[in-house]
């Protein structure tokens, strides 16, 4: 069972702040981590490898520093890593991200399963998994919370839905995006982590030429969406104290709620 796991490096915070002058995310002083949902995808891959053999390749698209996320993936037990890094990939929206990942996965080939997290805690769109499956023309299951069986060419997986779980028969190769209830990720192994940080480790870097994509199809140029402006939401609150006897205060409160259609 050959498995590809997508790992995204994200800022270690859910409260990203935006530079009011440039409109860009403030990344200075914020530590980077593997997207927490992707750690569950990695853990699932490791358990499947323990049961069925095969190999695990972690893939990340990002700047050079995203190699740290791949090193951690190797520290957890992935066999090798591919960093997709090129100035041409910068500014990618979810479409351009999925397109770049798809071309890299096609180049790598020979996989039964692609695992990714439900969503990234910074971008939060949950679009990359489904878009990638579409681009590769393979089956997909989102919000995977359990696995009943996994064999060559077929699987039975549980998908989390509102108020319950759905059992899905899914052919392989397929892409699953996983939710955190699927498992508890293991900690990286210190020795493996040290080996992964070695420059001669099993992590390779591919640029645009390596995966055969044109500059105009990736990054900002290849993005179908453009950010016009970014700004933190305005939270304007005002308080009002009602005074008087309890009956009149209740009547005024109900009137206010009706007035504001609450």
Ligand X SMILES: Cc1cc2nc3c(=O)[nH]c(=O)nc-3n(C[C@H](O)[C@H](O)[C@H](O)COP(=O)(O)OP(=O)(O)OC[C@H]3O[C@@H](n4cnc5c(N)ncnc54)[C@H](O)[C@@H]3O)c2cc1C
Site of interaction with ligand X (CB under 6 A) = 6-8, 35, 37-38, 59-62, 90-94, 97, 116-117, 119-120, 122-129, 223, 225-227
Q: Which residue number, 109 or 153, has a Cβ lying nearer to ligand X?
A: 109
Q: How far is the CB of 76 from ligand X (least distance, A)?
A: 14
Q: How far is the CB of 200 from ligand X (least distance, A)?
A: 23
Let me know if 252 is exposed, middle or buried by CB neighbors in 10 A (0-12, 13-18, 19+).
middle
Q: How far is the CB of 224 from ligand X (least distance, A)?
A: 8
Q: Which residue number, 120 or 147, has a Cβ lying nearer to ligand X?
A: 120
Q: What angle do CA 154, 158, 162 make, to 5 degrees?
A: 145
Do residues 98 and 135 touch, judged by C-beta distance below 8 A? yes
Q: Which residue number, 229 or 262, has a Cβ lying nearer to ligand X?
A: 229
| Angle (deg, nearest 10), helices 128-136 and 94-108 | 50
Q: Which residue number, 108 or 252, has a Cβ lying nearer to ligand X?
A: 108
Q: Which of 87, 25, 76 has its CA nearest to residue 49?
A: 76
Q: How far is the CB of 253 from ligand X (least distance, A)?
A: 41
| Residue closest to ligand X when measured from CB atoms | 123
Q: Which residue number, 216 or 260, has a Cβ lying nearer to ligand X?
A: 216
Q: How far is the CB of 37 from ligand X (least distance, A)?
A: 5
**Token pair of 104 as six digits:** 């890299």
DSSP annotation string for 179-203: -GGG--PPPPPHHHHHHHHSTTSSE
């Amino acid at each position: 069972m050959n498995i590809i796991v997508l790992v995204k490096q994200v800022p270690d915070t859910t409260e990203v702040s935006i530079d009011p002058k440039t409109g860009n995310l403030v990344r200075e002083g914020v530590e980077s981590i593997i997207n927490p949902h992707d750690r569950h995808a990695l853990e699932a891959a490791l358990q499947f490898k323990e049961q069925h053999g095969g190999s695990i390749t972690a893939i990340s698209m990002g700047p050079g520093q995203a190699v740290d996320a791949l090193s951690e993936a190797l520290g957890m037990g992935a066999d090798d890593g591919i960093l997709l890094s090129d100035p041409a990939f910068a500014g990618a929206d979810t479409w351009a991200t999925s397109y770049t990942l798809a071309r890299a996965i096609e180049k790598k080939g020979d996989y039964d399963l692609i695992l990714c997290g439900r969503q990234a805690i910074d971008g939060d769109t949950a679009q990359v998994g489904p878009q990638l499956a579409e681009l590769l023309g393979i089956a997909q299951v989102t919000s995977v919370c359990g696995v009943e069986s996994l064999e060559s060419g077929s699987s039975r997986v549980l998908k989390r839905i509102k108020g319950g779980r759905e059992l899905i028969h899914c052919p392989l190769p397929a892409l699953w995006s996983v939710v955190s209830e699927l498992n508890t990720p293991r900690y990286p192994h210190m020795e493996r982590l040290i080996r992964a940080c070695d420059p001669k480790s099993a992590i390779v870097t591919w640029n645009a030429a390596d995966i055969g994509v044109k500059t105009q199809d990736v990054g900002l140029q290849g993005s179908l969406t453009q950010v016009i402006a970014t700004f933190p939401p305005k939270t304007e609150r005002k308080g009002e104290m009602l005074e008087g006897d309890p009956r009149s205060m209740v009547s005024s409160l109900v009137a206010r709620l009706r007035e504001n259609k609450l």
